[in-house]
Structure 1
Amino acid sequence: MMIHRLLFCCLVLVPAPLWAQQVQLKALFGSSAMLEVDGRQRLLKSGQTSPEGVRLLEANSKFARVKVGERVQKLTLDAPVAARYARAEQTEVRLVADSRGHFSTDAWVNGRRVPVLVDTGATSIAFNYPTAKGLGLDLDGAEPISVATANGVTRAYRVTLASVTVGGIKLHNIEATVHANEFPHITLLGNSFLSRVDMEQQRGMLILRARN
């Protein structure tokens, strides 16, 4: 119960911005640029992003560099039209840090709910033994391993989870470790899950995005 009082999170599911389909440079104003994005005019300063997801990386008297999705393109007044882009939606989960700067939420492991703490220093999802048994994880035949923890080297078991869901992000065949004792006190959401999503931190918020 103490863990639940100490750890607080706010999980928000939002669709990521849709990528613009067409971008055109209309004018340059020092470090700002007037763009026409899908027929709407947007005056952006360098570093700003339009509601359609177009980010102005740089602007000067000669050109503007924009980023749409993962593509960067240089626009000039002589060649003002960017290539057309396909629209893409990404499922997005936003986690708000608690007073200690930790990010926690609920995950669904093989269809069962469990509180988790985001830990980028953990190689995989890590359960203590009581939690694993409560989730119905089958440890018969699981590979025994040794893992290093803050309390020293301890015995654990390597397992594969059929599915792990956080918010609207669901991944399959995720590696996890089950410690043979009551450590860690809360399940750690480690890199076997985190390495398969895109992560970004903004103003005390951690954003997880599903990869298309």
Structure 2
Amino acid sequence: MAVIFAAQWTYANTPGIEVVGLFKDGAILIIDGQQRMLRKGLPTEKGVEVIEADAKSVTLVVDGEIKKMSLSKKISTQFAESDEKPAAHISRGAGGHYWAPGRVNNRACEFVVDTGATYVSLNSHHAAQLGVSYKDGIPVVMRTANGVKRSFKVTLDSVTVGMVTVRGVDAVVSEGRFPEVILLGNAFLNRVEMRVEAGVMVLQSKI
């Protein structure tokens, strides 16, 4: 799934909604300083619901009013401000998994949260797309249901989900197309606070 992100910018700490990421049937919004990922057809967040979305715009219902927004556009609301630590709110997606758009070394990608994975795990095609030079990494052997895979352990400069960034994250790159999706494993998850609230996974910075 292609994810479109806004360029870097700053915003005032005033009540409102801003669009910072768009993808098919979903959007990444800043709601009163807290990042939320909303998907079409899933429970609303603070009275905000996605009606439709693509890479160009999102149509929202905000307190009963329909609003169409594009990247970096803001609409005023009356939500309370928050001084909480940066967090990412991830709704359950296809197959019951938690899918999260994010960044590796500041390049856009999509993760599946996997508490059973030791590292952030990706294949060599993902690595090429994200500019990860893995062949200078430590050679390791990964045993999977599909057999033994030649892999390399590397350290990623940064991994970002929502507004949460962790630096120096251990990862394993396997040659070929396994795993098919990038797995967000415990090398990242153990360095953030993780909880589930009403079916929504919350990853929050410890800093």
The bucket for the TM-score relative to the shorter chain is: 0.5 to 0.7
Q: Summarize the Cα distance change of 1:189–1:12 in structure 2 as closer, same or farther, 3 Å threshold.
A: farther
| TM-score, structure 2 as length reference | 0.60
CA distance, structure 2, for counterparts of residue 151 and residue 9 of structure 1: 32
- SS of residue matched to 2:166: strand
Match of 1:105 among 94, 100, 107: 100
- SS of residue matched to 1:164: strand
Deviations, residues 143-192 of structure 1 (Å, cap 9, x unaligned): 11011222232110001001111111011100000001100111111111
Q: Percent identical across equivalent pairs? A: 34
- The residue type paired with residue 113 of structure 2 is V
CA distance, structure 1, for counterparts of residue 94 and residue 166 of structure 2: 29
Equivalent in the alignment of 1:162: 157
Residue 129, structure 1, aligned to residue 124, structure 2: yes
| TM-score, structure 1 as length reference | 0.59
Equivalent in the alignment of 2:133: 138
Q: Summarize the Cα distance change of 1:8–1:129 in structure 2 as closer, same or farther, 3 Å threshold.
A: farther
CA distance, structure 2, for counterparts of residue 148 and residue 101 of structure 1: 25
Q: Which stretches in structure 2 are left out of the alignment for 5+ residues?
A: 2-23, 35-81
**Shift in Å at residue 9 of structure 1?**
6.8
Equivalent in the alignment of 2:194: 199
- SS of residue matched to 1:144: strand
- SS of residue matched to 1:122: coil
Residue 178, structure 1, aligned to residue 173, structure 2: yes
- Aligned 1:60-71 pairs, distance under 5 A: none
Equivalent in the alignment of 1:152: 147
Q: Summarize the Cα distance change of 1:98–1:199 in structure 2 as closer, same or farther, 3 Å threshold.
A: same
Contact 2:135 2:152 in 1 (8 A): no
CA distance, structure 1, for counterparts of residue 27 and residue 126 of structure 2: 23
Contact 1:10 1:96 in 2 (8 A): no
Match of 2:85 among 63, 78, 90: 90
CA distance, structure 1, for counterparts of residue 27 and residue 185 of structure 2: 19
Q: Summarize the Cα distance change of 1:12–1:92 in structure 2 as closer, same or farther, 3 Å threshold.
A: farther
Count of residue pairs the alignment pairs up? 137
- SS of residue matched to 1:100: helix
Contact 1:11 1:94 in 2 (8 A): no
Contact 1:11 1:96 in 2 (8 A): no
